[in-house]
Amino acid sequence: MKPLLILTVLSILTGHAFAQPRNAKALVVGISQHQDTSIHAFTPARRDAEEYAAFLQTISGGSMDRDQILLLTDQGATLASFVAALDWLLDTKPLPLKRLLYIAGAAQMVAPGQKNEDVFVFFHDSPAAPLQGNTFSLRDLKRLLDKGSGQNIVPFTLVFAFKEAFETGTDAPLVRWKDEGKNQRSSYLKWSNMPSTDPLTVNGTNPEIAKTISSHLVTGLFGLADRDNNMQVNGQEIFRYLKSCSLETSVTREYFYMAVTDKEASLSRVDDRIVEELQRLGKNYLFAPIVHLESMPIEDRVLQTASPATRQLYEDFILAIKVKNFLKPVEHNAAALYDSLLLVPELQPIAGHLRRRYAAAMLDHTQQALNAYLNTSANELTRRRKNSGQYKLYAQLMGKANELLGEEHFMHKTLEAKRLYFEGLHLRLQYFATKNAELLSEALKKQLAALRFEPEAAYIYNELGVVYGNQNDTIEAQKQFFSAIEYSPTWGIPYGNLCGLFLRAGDWENANEYGIRAVALANWNPDTYFILGTVYHKKRDFSTAEDLYRRAIKEGTSLPEVYFNLACIAAQKEEKDAALDWLKQAREMGFDDIESLATDPDLVSIRKDARFTEMVQQLNNERMLRKKD
């Protein structure tokens, strides 16, 4: 697995955020748990986020109301929910707003192909490989926030603090963006020489008081960073204060990146009473456990005064989303209910909330299917082979989400890429069922179009390789699979696809190499054992091939070819009963290739057996019945 970082991102507004409490919004995210358990989670992240959300509600933090704060934690902090929340944060209607962004969780620094070095934030549902379309680049995030800073709006300023969790044990360079310069709205002050560049150890006497950079940040904003005793804390004071902090943590290293629009502007107001308490406690935890703030109370208030019919309509809409009844033709679908809700005048104050909730739900549902593929799920691979038609629906969901959010939305390109990807995937799977070559040509066009929207998406390159491979363009297929590996070197599927490509070309050495890599990267994937077993089978190493086929069965393969190949090996050893038993199991798994039964040289020893003859006759009868139907 690629090295991971633990990250905290904080955006602090310059100017007196506390002076105009109603003229501000805050999105606070803390992720301590991940769907993919291989991600090195940052346990204090959720607590840090809750502390910061609580701080914002104090006098020092600006006395912000609950309506002004959206807190997302753990399972509630998926990429889709973050996108919806970020859309809310960037929405300045009806008034220009000051906005704060805070993210605590895991992240990874990558430099794909030694280009575009960046840090990628992991959400609850992100795969471990960051370049798979379900993470958020800090470089892109900063660009987006700068773009969202218009006239009379204080620009975002960013803080990146991340703890190293590298398996390699090597130091990583910090990502540094160029200064904007004097002619730009914003100027950025960078500072990264934290004392924690040396390995850290847990406090041996009382590990409970080990604090994160986020906790130190909050204590500093409360007043411990007020060096000039003017009862306010500015950016320069925060820099100095954090630099002086002793970070006691179980994570090996911690780095810090901070940028402020105006280092002299006030960030918080000092509260003497809290400062005294912090000094008495030795800078310990600030708050008692905090109630979650993951839903906006404005919806509850609007619904309290709404008519019973309106409340019922709203509840039906939420239920439709929960049961994933997103679009027609099913009755009471979310699309129809959403259109009805927009016609209700009393719900206009929360129309934006409804739109974001609907779009986020569709993105969440679609991303789960893509995540399963990126995590090399055997169930997802089986589902793709059976092609239930669900992938066409995913494309429709992405199209609907894009329609709701609009072309100017910052997620437009990502949603459009996924829409085109799933449209192309559906066409390619339809080709397998019909052998209509025109479908492959259309699938290729879709994937090439998708790549223009997400040029670093490994899953799109991989799909392009599959399409080219089915068009017998081996050279182009190899190129696409290698591109997928370049952008996601720990994803096993493109390695397995290369193995199959070299296998068909008779290149046993390369097939063997990439098959072994595929197994090493996803040793739970039965398909990789099957394809590598086929390599050894072709090389006539029947013992190794049999071991690999049996491992594929142990891992839950749905491929009938695995059982057929085991029958061939047993027949080669003249173990007739075992061979016929494997053929029976292959039939039960859906094997119906009469031509292979009649011509495969490995089956010579059982071809005259009455049980074999009966099996072939049954298959012929079934084929005739299907033709009549």
* Residues across the chain: 629
Q: Quote the CA–CA distance of 316 and 71 in Å, as a whole number.
A: 25
**Between these two residues, 169 and 428, which has the higher pLDDT value?**
428
**Between these two residues, 58 and 314, which has the higher pLDDT value?**
314
**Between these two residues, 228 and 249, which has the higher pLDDT value?**
228
Residue range 12-50, pLDDT digits in tens: 443 333 433 467 788 888 888 888 877 777 777 787 787
pLDDT confidence band for 216 (50 / 70 / 90): confident
Confidence (pTM): 0.71
DSSP 586: H
Between the alpha carbon of residue 203 and those of residues 207, 214, 219, the distances in Å are: 5, 18, 19
**Pair type for strands 4-11 and 158-165:** antiparallel
Q: Is the pLDDT of residue 556 over 50?
A: yes
pLDDT at 131: 63
**Between these two residues, 99 and 490, which has the higher pLDDT value?**
490
Q: Quote the CA–CA distance of 267 and 159 in Å, as a whole number.
A: 13
Say if residues 124 and 29 touch (Cβ distance below 8 Å): no
CA angle 55, 60, 63 (to 5 degrees): 70
Q: Is the pLDDT of residue 53 over 70?
A: yes
Matching residue, tokens 């020489």: 193
Q: Quote the CA–CA distance of 472 and 495 in Å, as a whole number.
A: 18
Question: Per-domain residue ranges for the chain?
Answer: 4-189+254-269, 297-362
Residue range 345-378, pLDDT digits in tens: 999 988 988 998 899 999 989 988 998 898 888 8
Say if residues 213 and 103 touch (Cβ distance below 8 Å): no
pLDDT at 388: 66
